[in-house]
Structure 1
Amino acid sequence: MPPKVQQKSKEQKMAAAMAGGKGKKKKWSKGKSRDKVDNKVLFSKEQHDRLHSEVPKMKLITVSSVVEKLKISGGLARRALRDLAEEGKIRPVLLSQSQMIYTRNVGEDDE
């Protein structure tokens, strides 16, 4: 039989548990967290010019691709794509509530 160990009081057990390395709450996330991007909510002159020059030349135009390219907010990108489609610079492929996909307007480049 192993020798009997003297029992600790509740206070002593709690103090020992808090003093050990396991006292802190476990952190599950070991990966790096992505920094929140500070996207603009209004166009600067340079961004507006890039929107009208670069976006109509892209093959696949989505809200997220415009947000990444121009560093603007999603709402501003949606509005800008709607305006470009009304002007006839880009052509809608799929318009649903959750995803809007456009493409360049190839037919009017020849004229």
Structure 2
Amino acid sequence: MPQTAPPGWPATVPPPDSPGWQRAAVEWLLDQCPADYRGYAGWRRHPIALAWVATRHVDAQLQAMRQAYRDCRAELYEQLPPRAMTEVLANLEAEGLRLRAAARSAAMIHEALEGKRYAPRL
């Protein structure tokens, strides 16, 4: 029976147990981390460790984005005109949504690397 990926699974990563899924998962996880992470061979050799650190990295980015959204008006009020503030807040909101989705996807990949599999809902 073919494996199924749950909602929120990264589109570029095949479902668990599909041919090449771990290689695609590693590439996707590395895309979520700083570019320098690609220079460490250990992340490719140990995908579960990469998933573990990537989830923490994305979670930290999400926390930072939420804090930036909270602080933006107070800290940039005098430096930005009103239209710019609206644009900056919209950008922060969009990035927060992207990071929240990435955090969910990274967590699902980590779970899949630990052996969790998803069954389709009827």
TM-score, normalized by length of structure 1?
0.29
- Higher Rg of the two aligned structures: 1
Using CA pairs under 8 Å that are at least 6 residues apart, name the structure with larger relative contact order, 1 or 2.
Answer: 2
Output the TM-score relative to the length of structure 2.
Answer: 0.27
